[in-house]
Structure formats: structure tokens, C-alpha cells
Structure 1
Amino acid sequence: MTGFKNGGLNGGLNGGLNGGLSSGPLGGRSWSGGSSSSLVPFSPPLKTGDDATGELMFFNNPDLEFPKSAWSPALRAQVIVGEFAASDWRTDLTTTDYRERSAGFHSQTPGTPTGLRGELLTLINFRNNIRQEMANEIAVQVDGSQLYWSNAFMIGIENKPNSSILVAVAMAVGQLVGMHFKDYWKRARPIQFCPALMPIIPTPPHPSYPSGHALQAYLVKHLLSAAARASAGDALHDYFSNFAERIANNREIAGVHFPTDKLESADLAAQVWEHHLRELPSVQELIANAWGEWEHNLVPGDFKNPVMAEGPESFADQIAIKLRGL
């Protein structure tokens, strides 16, 4: 009976969590604010005709269109994914070896990592010393990393509609590109080399390299930085960067990714942004329209202290400090 209890509990928790997230700021909710599956009671029926003529009353406007502003961000993003998929991204990134033209190039060969022992030791250190502290955050980010962006930066369809779509585009394009290269490299998961890692979440049913969550997070960073016209050294840009790093690092702490999976994702996201996403007319339009959603965040002189302007402390530095104190 224990198995049935655990299955029911896990299923209920996962279903509730996933359902709640999918109807959240970037999910498939209705334009009116409720879930797309919300019941709207309406009884008795509204009068639909003119008492004198008996004719049906309606808005006789053949040019009426569904407004862009009423789209669900997640669904609008699918239209842009189609535009992206029609480009030459797959051929370009696969045949020209994007790693060699990336500023963050690393020499790790997927599937046969020369530093396998060192990477596994890093993951074991995470398991032993940091994992429990990050457990709740890791669990929610399995299916809801976009929730962290929307919550921290107040990105919602009501107040930042264009930015909401940009986040959804990053999530959708990141998944498409990530799955292509996972299939291309076919890198084994950490637990296949070291079962004692025992990830705190189920190991995803697809290859390890690159990290999909990291790729999505880095794409969000690039798109939002462009929308907010924030460059390196700006407070907002540094916050975006640190959020992306945190989400990426959590996948290593969870035990489901190697550190080099994250490095690959950072390189790949930069190439996808620089050579493909930023060239799409639909993305350019969203970025231009999104500027008005961020300009109030970038008033010169807001941060008098340079330390404050750098944003939150680097997550990697936090980990290093914690490990040094052991």
C-alpha cells in the first residue's frame, strides 16, 4: 500500500504544482485573468434580440480582429518559435561548431569529458553541503523556472505584456534548441556514472548536454537585457545575469547536470541570441515595444553604492564561500 500512497501523493502534488504554474503569469490562462479551464456561470441566458424586430443584436464589423494584446504569452511565443524554426539555426549551429566562435569557448568534448572525475566530485560536494538548502527552489524550478522571472521582476501580462512574451519565447526556443543538441551529443546523465549522487528530483528522460533549464535562463537574460536596454555593469543586467546563473546552478546542485552542461548552455544561448533570435522581425518588435515597460527601472543615480549596483552576490561566489568554510 505504501507505493499507492506515495504515487497518489506525488501525483497530486505534481499535478497541482504543474497546473498552478501553467495558469500563472506566462501560462495558458484566459485574457480575463482566470484559468483557461475556469467555469463561467451564466444563467438565465442574456436577451440577444430586439423586442420590436426580433433581430439578433451583434457588432457588425467585418474588419474586427483578435488583438495581439489578448494572446496568452505562452501561445504567442509558439508563433515566434515557428518563425525561428524556419531560419537556418540548425544548420548554422551544428555545422559551423558554434563553440569555436563563442567568447566563452571551452574544450570539453561531450560524452567523453576529460574532467569527469572533477565534475563528479563537484556534484558530490553540492549533494553533501548545499542541496538541502536549495531543495524547495529546485523542486519548483523543475517546471516553473519562469515563475521566478515573473515574480522577481513583476513580469505579467497586465503590466509587462511584451516582456511576458519574450520570456515565453526564451522558454520555447530554449527547449527546441536544447532538445536538438541533446540528441546530437547524447551525453549520459551524472547518475549513470555515479548512482550515489541520488538526485533530489527525478532525472529527466533525455540526454544531459546541454542543460535545457540553463539554456532557457540565459536566453531570458539576453532578451530581457535587450528589452530593458541594460548592458554589463547596469544593476538590472546584473540581476538578470545572476538569476540565470542561479537557475542553471540549481540543476547541478540537484544532481541532474554536469558543470560543463551549464557552460555549453551559456555559449549556445549567446550564439542563438546573437546570430538568430535578435534578427527575427517579431522579436525586434517585441523588444522595441517592451522598452516602455522597463524605462522606469533605469533612472540614472538610483544606485549610489557601486556594490549595490552590481546586483545580488554571485551565486557561484556564495557556493565557493560555503565550501571553503567546511
Structure 2
Amino acid sequence: MAQGPAIGPMDGVDGVDGVDGVEGLDLLGGRGGGGVFRPVGLAPEFVRRTKGNNQQEQEYRSHRWPPSFKNAAWPPAQPQNPDDWPIAPEAVAPRLADFSPSNASLLILGEFVQVQLKSGPAVVAWNGLMRKAAKNVPATAQNDDMAKDIADQGGLKAELAELRQLAQFRAGVMGEALAQRNGIIGYYRGLLHFSVATHPHTYYLCAAALRVGQFLCMHYKGVFNRPRPMRLDPSIMSPIDPPAHSAYPSGHSIQSFLIARCLEQVVPPTVGSGLTDKQSPYWRLAERIAKLREVLGVHYPSDTVAGRRVAEAAFPLLMACPRIAGGALPADTATDEVLQKVPQLADHATGWLSRARAEWRG
């Protein structure tokens, strides 16, 4: 818990390994939301009262809350001016911090599952990002994404051999790989030096990407139900217990590449000259985070590739969420251009993406 505030209030949900630890982390740092235990009992008054003969009473009287006054009503009745304290006007403007990053990410998730975008004659939605062979139909590279990804990596035996070769890097990256189990956003914060206090919309955008990635990976893990590598090859012997869910696709891969894509929309993706978006520091950091899961032996290379592909396909849907884009999308924006020119979705000044961009202009 001592590490939590340094990384951020979404730390416990990063990478889905630590999802059980997310309860309570929203309550750090006085953010509110039920985390402060604030009982109010019968306390003694500041001083003992005096009697009519100016002698102190032997016992303290109770200092009640709410207090009561002999000659005044408190809280006061509705004042003449509705802006006077403590009676607030009915129309109180919502604030970003009314929802913690973790809870706000669930609001985005509720929008994400409803977004649909047109890609030519097809309609793209979250539950159509991967193909699974129908029951009683053999899985092939033509009808099943996992079968294709495994084939592209040279087959299962080649993937297991790759993991045995990657094990030689464990000693050098163990600390980093363990920190990234539940600290994905923390590494991007280290790259750009931002926090929920300094760049709140940027942080909330990353939190939304993290939550959506968690949702997508768990859904598709349930669909494909691939066993972890050490169940097939004991010689891999991961230095950590594998997460208690199946392997394909990699959640760390989906989440880290989704966050990278979001940050590329917020701050310039290139540092220096001649760099493409796939060479941006955000993208390279996503590659590193995803690859280290293979070094730990908990994911196959095909899991990582699949996660990157799902992130790329899900990114336009995430950007189309009304809170991020800045209001409900007009019907005529659901065209091929939406998938090719995602930043156009966030021109509205109230959207999280536009406000996140503004946080980096000063």
C-alpha cells in the first residue's frame, strides 16, 4: 500500500493480475468516495459550562453534531440568494473527480460496449474483433484467429522453444517484469511524468484504456480458453505463479498497446526526426511490457501478437465513446473515415481526449 500513491489510484488493476487488489485503492489520498471512517459521537464541549453563580458545573455537557443554537436555526433555511452557503443551487456542475479513475473507467466501459462503427459494408463492435471456429468445426488459420496466430509463429512446438530461449533474460529483467504485473500506467507516467493531479484527463484516458483492455482480454480468454505454457512444457517453469485465467490473448499486450495509442493522440508520437508512430516511445514501451510476459513464461508469442491486434482494432471504438469523443457521435460519422482518422472524433472541446491534449499545451 505504501507504493500505491506513487504510482496512481489505478495501480491495483493494471495488467489484470492484480484485479483483486483494486478495492480500496480509489480511496487513497483523500479522494473521497467512502474511504474515510468519520464517526461523530457525543464529544465534550470545549469548556465546562458555568452555573448561575458563576461556578463551573462538575460535568461536561455534550458537544452535539449537528449543533443546535437557542436563537438561530442551523443549517439555515433557504436563503434569498440561492448561491449563499450552505444551501447550494440545484444545478451543480459535474466534476471529473466526482468519479475516481477506476470508477470512471467503468463509465467508459458502459459506453464502449455500445459503440459500433462502419468499415465498408461491415459493422465493427467490441465482440467482433476476433474470430473463433464454430463448435464441431476444426479450427484453421482461415476460420480461427488463435489457430492463425499459432501457425504464424511456426506452430506450438516452435512457440514453446521460443519461450525456453527467452528464459535467459529473466535475471536481468525480473524486477521490471514483476513491477509491470500491476503497474502498467506507472511506466507510462515515468515516461511522460504526469499524474492524476497534474494531467487528470490524460490519466483518466489511460485508466479507461486499461479497463477496456481488461474487459476485452477476459472476454476473449473465456472464448479461446488456451492453457498457460507451463501446463504444456514443465521445463519453462515460470518464476511466478501464472494468473488464474487462460493465456490467449495477452491482457498486458492489449492494455499497453491501447494506452500507447491513446497517448499518441494526446502528445506528439514522435521524438526526434524521421520516427513513425510504430517507433514512438509509447509504442516501444508497449512492446517491452508485452514481451516481458513471454520472458516470464506466462504467455506465448502468439498471445502477444493477438493482444496487439485487438488493441489496434479496439482503439477506434474506444475513441468513439461519447465521454472521450465529446458527446454522442452523429450518425453520419460512422463511415470508413472514422477508422482512418480517429482524431477527428475528438474535436469537441468537452471530450476527454480534447481536454487531455489541452493539458500538454501549456
Distance 1:253 1:220, change over 3 A: same
- 1:21-60 aligned within 5 A: 24-26=8-10, 27-29=25-27, 32=30, 37-38=35-36, 52-57=71-76, 58-60=86-88
> How far apart are the structure 1 equivalents of 2:302 and 2:223?
16
Unaligned 5+ segments in structure 2 are: 11-24, 44-63, 77-85, 117-124, 134-140, 326-350
TM-score (structure 2 length as normaliser): 0.65
> How far apart are the structure 1 equivalents of 2:227 and 2:151?
7
In the alignment, structure 1 residue 176 sits paired with structure 2 residue 215: yes
Structure 1 residue 94: Cα displacement: 4.0
In the alignment, structure 1 residue 258 sits paired with structure 2 residue 258: no
Distance 1:139 1:41, change over 3 A: farther
Residues 201 and 254 in structure 1, CA contact (< 8 A), matched pair in contact too = yes
Q: Per the alignment, in what secondary structure is the counterpart of residue 269 of structure 2?
A: coil
Distance 1:25 1:150, change over 3 A: farther
Structure 1 residue 235: Cα displacement: 9.2
> How far apart are the structure 1 equivalents of 2:210 and 2:304?
16
Of Structure 1 and Structure 2, the greater helix share is in 1
Residues 30 and 36 in structure 1, CA contact (< 8 A), matched pair in contact too = no
Distance 1:51 1:145, change over 3 A: farther
Q: Residue in 2 aligned with 1:92?
A: 128
In the alignment, structure 1 residue 150 sits paired with structure 2 residue 189: yes
Unaligned 5+ segments in structure 1 are: 1-15, 297-326
Quote the sequence identity (%). Answer: 24
Residues 153 and 301 in structure 2, CA contact (< 8 A), matched pair in contact too = no
> How far apart are the structure 2 equivalents of 1:206 and 1:264?
16
Q: Runs of at least 4 residues of structure 1 off by over 6 A?
A: 40-43, 234-237
> How far apart are the structure 2 equivalents of 1:241 and 1:143?
19
Q: Residue in 1 aligned with 2:233?
A: 194
In the alignment, structure 1 residue 116 sits paired with structure 2 residue 100: no
The structure with the largest alpha-carbon Rg is 2
TM-score (structure 1 length as normaliser): 0.72
> How far apart are the structure 1 equivalents of 2:97 and 2:70?
36
In the alignment, structure 1 residue 20 sits paired with structure 2 residue 4: yes
The amino acid that maps onto 1:63 is A
Deviations 1:256-300 (A, max 9, x none): 0011111111111111113x112222122111111122235xxxx
Structure 1 residue 174: Cα displacement: 0.3
In the alignment, structure 1 residue 141 sits paired with structure 2 residue 125: no
The amino acid that maps onto 1:130 is F
Q: CA RMSD in A?
A: 3.5
> How far apart are the structure 1 equivalents of 2:33 and 2:127?
39
> How far apart are the structure 1 equivalents of 2:151 and 2:277?
37
Distance 1:294 1:113, change over 3 A: same
Number of equivalences: 272
Distance 1:55 1:37, change over 3 A: closer
